[in-house]
Amino acid sequence: MTTTSATPSLDGQFLGRQADALRRERQAQSDLAAALLEEIRTLNDDTAVSDSTADDGFGEGTGSAVDQDRDRALHAQAMTRVEEIDAALRRIEAGTYGRCEVCGGAIGEARLEALPTATQCVACKAGGLASRHRAGTGRHAA
């Protein structure tokens, strides 16, 4: 694979390390999502069984419903992470990884190492309103 001008300052070694880190986290997050899904199914079964069999399972049944809500929220979170990671891996393949989606500048290796799925540079992330104002005035002219 030849390096293209699309990658501003990131070298192949750095991108390789980032891809490894992203794939490791993707594995961890999809394992977590699968485990949570399994737990949700188990909780469903428990609720069904305790509903039809015993009165003394009332308290536990209520607890299971709360657990299910929590597990569903955690599952959704894990799936969102997997999507973010997939998007980052696609950017690595496309050669646009490490470029801020707002200003088009470099996100910076330190920030990418800390947050491999980052899509914005520190300035754009921090100055949400300020950058939107700037982009707004710029785009009206164009």
Residues in region 71-130 near Zn ion by CB under 5 A: 100, 102-103, 121, 124
Q: Which one, 61 or 108, has the nearer CB to Zn ion?
A: 108
Nearer to Zn ion, 43 or 124 (CB): 124
Q: What is the token pair recorded at 123?
A: 């300035």
**Residues 18 to 37: which contact Zn ion by CB under 5 A?**
none
CB of 102 to Zn ion, least distance (A): 4
Residue numbers at the binding site for Zn ion (CB under 5 A): 100, 102-103, 121, 124
